[in-house]
Structure 1
């Protein structure tokens, strides 16, 4: 008797589950020699400071809880053998999408909303898309996914003021709160500007200190040096 193929569904993940799943998908492609991942390696991958948005500080217990939930949903498998338990993802088969679509969803889970151009660039180590139009084609398929297959897996966000391209977001954690997303983006931008200003102020202070030191060694006043014409 032939076992029926399970009907694809749209999982409803927590933010931590999405980070765990995205990290497993990433490491399977970028560091295959270190894959499957132990709980410790998986936690480090979830918390890394590059290629992640938002940044997270998860404990092993939080990651273990997320892994247990993902295993129940058939999206993560535990591997046996050796003294350390390790984990692999089953995203593509569990959700019922093509490889290219799985790659795009994995990147959206790890780095948040992105344009098609950003997705093509950021997924280069995972899969080499021929051009931006091919990325857009798979995104459109995910957007138009029928209810029989679980419904849409991505949404196209409203265009931001001063930008030409629209960004895409995944729906694996439920509907996207666009307003909260944009306010967080503004807050992040303001924080980044403050950090740049503080860095520049530190650099200016260091340069002033160097100038004063050099003037002292030369036996001249720093103020007099500043007034000296070129």
Structure 2
């Protein structure tokens, strides 16, 4: 990982500074992607703009799927820097970006992991969050996930107020889902999607998640190697003129 000495000193914002405005959908996607890649592909982190755009627009593990242009991602990065949530490196030929969310939001690591996953995949139950964050952080059990979510929901106003909300149980669903509030209030009266069911056990799903993680890490490593090779040869990235 890039040394902190390459980044300018950034004052820690107060709680009301952090909550001064909701994030846009693009800002949430950029921030969530940086938080994900810091955990899943540390060898390629901090990310270049090309790698970040690819991560924001990937088709898997994203809800909704987005198609952000370079300019939109750069604009989101500029706005996130003003909120002290993103840092820009200046120690290499290619500019790289990393998140500063845990410090900027003033939340523990486990809470940041849950918020990052909610930003990337939308509302989820505590069980789904425990499974989906397996690659980021290994929560002991679902009860521990619930505990951190409840702390985020009961966050005091002097720290910026709640960062998540527990949604009403959808018809036919066994558990309630949680949603983040980083993009503003959530309409809890909106109809929820059909509940997902699976015959697989939690252990089986975790094993599949680990296999998927290994494949995604391999793909990310190959993409980074290709990008570095193109930069050395002065070639354009695929899809760019």
TM-score, normalised to structure 2's length? 0.73
In structure 1, the partner of 2:146 is 136
> Structure 1: how far apart are the matches of 2:51 and 2:191?
29
In structure 2, the partner of 1:155 is 165
Deviation of the 1:178 alpha carbon: 3.1
SS of the equivalent of 2:103 reads helix
Kept after mapping to 1: 8 A contact 2:26/2:76 = yes
2:72 to 49, 58, 62: 62
Deviation of the 1:12 alpha carbon: 1.5
5+ residue gaps, structure 1: 190-230
1:7 to 3, 9, 14: 14
> Structure 2: how far apart are the matches of 1:55 and 1:133?
30
Map 1:1-230; keep pairs closer than 5 Å: 6-8=13-15, 9-10=18-19, 12-180=22-190, 182=192, 185=193
Q: How many residues align?
A: 184
5+ residue gaps, structure 2: 1-10, 197-241
> Structure 2: how far apart are the matches of 1:105 and 1:5?
19
TM-score, normalised to structure 1's length? 0.76
Q: How large is the RMSD of aligned CA atoms in angstroms? A: 1.9
In structure 1, the partner of 2:219 is none
Kept after mapping to 1: 8 A contact 2:12/2:103 = no
Deviation of the 1:164 alpha carbon: 1.3
Deviation of the 1:6 alpha carbon: 3.8
Q: Deviations over 1:41-82 (max 9, x none)?
A: 000000000000000011100000000000011000000122
Which one has the largest radius of gyration?
1
Bigger share in helix? 1
In structure 1, the partner of 2:210 is none
